[in-house]
Amino acid sequence: MTTAASPSAGTGIPGPGGDKYLGNLHAFSTDPLGFLTECSRTYGDVVRLGANNVLLTSPGDVERMLVDRNAKFSKASADTRRGSRRQGFPLSTMNSDGATWQAKRHRMQPAFGRKLSTKAAEIVADQGERMLAGWRPGTPRDLQDDVSVLTLRLVTSLMFGDEFSEEDTAEIARLVAPIMDLSTSPVLLPEWVPTPRKLRIRRSMARVDRTLRALAASPAAADPDRAPVLHALVHGDPPPTPDELRDELATLIMAGFETTNDAVVWTSVLLARHPEIAERVRAEAEAAFAATPAGLARMEALPYTNAVVRESLRLYSPVWLTSRDAMEDMEFSGHIVPAGTTVTVSQWVAHRDPRHWEDAEEFRPERWLGKGPSVPRGSYFPFGLGPRVCIGAAVATTETVHIVADIWRRFRLDLVHPERIRPRPALALQPMGVEVVPRRW
C-alpha cells in the first residue's frame, strides 16, 4: 500500500493529515492494525490514507470492490509493488489480471475440488500424528515452529505428492520465511539494494528453483491421484513455461503454508485463553475421532470445532489487508475514487467492526452455529470474496479444523508467556511469542 504523499487525490475524502512529505507512513508502519482501526472509527466508510490511497470500511463497498467491480481493479500492480519476482515474490495466478489471470485460474481450478479436500483430510491425520508424537506433557513447545513444519509438509504433499525430501522441505521453509517477512510497508528499497533478506532469498532461490523445476519431470506429475495440482498444472492448457510453472508452485507453497499455520496457532491461543470452549472442542474431537476414520466424514463430525475456527479467522484473519489499484474512476459511498488510487480493505477492521458484530472483540464460536451470524457479506472475508476468492479455502479449512481437533483432543495447552503474545502484521498476521506447555487432560 502506498501511504506516502503523491500527486493524485480523491477530493473531499476525509482522512488523517499526516506528515507533509511522508503522509501517514510513520503511523501505518508503527502500528498498522491500530492505525487502520482508528481511521475507520474516526473517518467512516471511505478514508483517505494518503494522497494516492483509500481505505473502504463499509461491507457494501467491500463487496462492490471484490465482487461486482473486480474487473475494474488491478491486483497485479498492487501485489507486485510489494515484492517483485527478483525479491522472491513469484508471478502467478495470485498476482495477474484479466484474461491472463482467468486462464491461469482455470488451469488449476479443477484440481481444487472435493477430491482434494478428501485427500487433505486423510494426509492431515498422518502428518498430525507425526507432529504430536514428539510432544511430551510438561515440556514446552514453540507452537509456531511445530505447526509450520506440519503445514509445510501438508501443502507440499497435497500439491506435489511425496516428491519432496526432508531436505528440500527445509530449504523451502528457509526460502519462504524471509519472503513472508516482507512487511506491507509501501517503502520498498530499489531492487538492487542488497539487503540481508534479499541476499538470503537469492541464495535459497537457486536451490528451490532446481527442486521445483525437477518436479515437472517427476513421476508424480504424471499421476493425477498422487499429485492432483501438479498434474493439472503440468498438463494444463495452455501448457506453462518452466518459469511459469516454478512461479505457480512457489506461490501455492507460500499461499498455503504460513496462512494455515497462523490459523492453527491463533485458534490454539484462543482456546488456551478459554478453557470452557477448549473442553467442548476436546469432547467433540474425542467422539469424532472414535466414531469416524480419517477423511471428510470426520470433518463433518466436528461442527463446533468448525465454528471455533471460523471465529478465530474472524478475530485473527491471517490475511488482514487486501489492496487493488483502481483502473477507472469509481464511486464508493458518495465519494469519487480516481483511477490509479490504491484501494484497500482490511479483514482486521471489517471483522471487528462494532457496527456489524455484536460483542465484536469477544471470542464467541456460538455465533457460527445454526444459521450463523446475520451480518452483511462484506463483513467477513478471511478467504476474500468474488472471483479472486482463495482457491485453497476448502483445503485450508479442512486442515485447520482437523489439526486443532487433533491437538486439543490429546492435550490442553498452557501459554507460557500470555502477555508476550501479539499479532505481527507482516504479509500474514503472524502470532508472535506463542510458547505452550502441553498438559494431559
Q: Render 42-108 in DSSP notation, one character per residue.
A: HH-SEEEEETTEEEE-SHHHHHIIIIITGGGEEHHHHHHHH--GGGT---SGGG--HHHHHHHHHHH
**Does 208 help bind ligand HEM (rule: CB under 6 A)?**
no
State yes or no: residue 350 binds ligand HEM (CB under 6 A).
no
> Does the footprint of ligand HEM cover residue 121 (CB under 6 A)?
no
Nearer to ligand HEM, 48 or 119 (CB): 119
Scan residues 257-276 and list those touching ligand HEM (CB under 6 A): 259-260, 263
Stretch that binds ligand HEM, among 202-210, 251-259, 268-276, 370-378 (CB under 6 A): 251-259
Sole window of 31-39, 45-53, 376-384, 401-409 interacting with ligand HEM (rule: CB under 6 A): 376-384
Among 46, 319, 375, 407, binds ligand HEM (CB under 6 A): 319
Tell me the closest approach of the beta carbon of residue 415 to ligand HEM, in angstroms: 21
For residue 203, the surrounding DSSP H or E stretch is helix 196-216
Residue 384 in the binding site for ligand HEM (CB under 6 A): yes
Q: How many residues bind ligand HEM (CB under 6 A)?
A: 25
- DSSP strand pairing (53-56 vs 342-345): parallel
Residues 6+ apart with CB under 8 A from 81: 2, 186, 188
Nearer to ligand HEM, 291 or 389 (CB): 389
Which distant-in-sequence residues (6+ apart) come within 8 Å of 239 by Cβ?
Answer: none
DSSP calls for 158-201 = HHHTT---HHHHHHHHHHHHHHHT----S----TTS--HHHHHH
CA distance 309 to 331: 35
Calpha distance 275→323 (Å, rounded): 37
Mask 420-439, x = binds ligand HEM (CB under 6 A)? --------------------
The answer to whether the beta carbons of residues 266 and 432 sit under 8 Å apart is: no
Find the binder of ligand HEM among 388, 402, 409, 410 (CB under 6 A).
388
252 is a contact residue toward ligand HEM (CB under 6 A) = yes
Among 88, 161, 178, 318, binds ligand HEM (CB under 6 A): 318
- The neighbouring-strand residues paired with 411 are 440
Q: How far is the CB of 62 from ligand HEM (least distance, A)?
A: 11
- 249-259 in b/e form (b: 16+ CB < 10 A) is bbbbbbbbbbb
**Which x/- pattern over 56-95 shows residues binding ligand HEM (rule: CB under 6 A)?**
-------------------x-----------------xx-
Whichever of 221 and 319 has its CB closer to ligand HEM, that residue is: 319
Binding residues for ligand HEM (CB under 6 A): 75, 93-94, 105, 155, 251-252, 255-256, 259-260, 263, 318-319, 322, 382-384, 388, 390-392, 395-396, 400
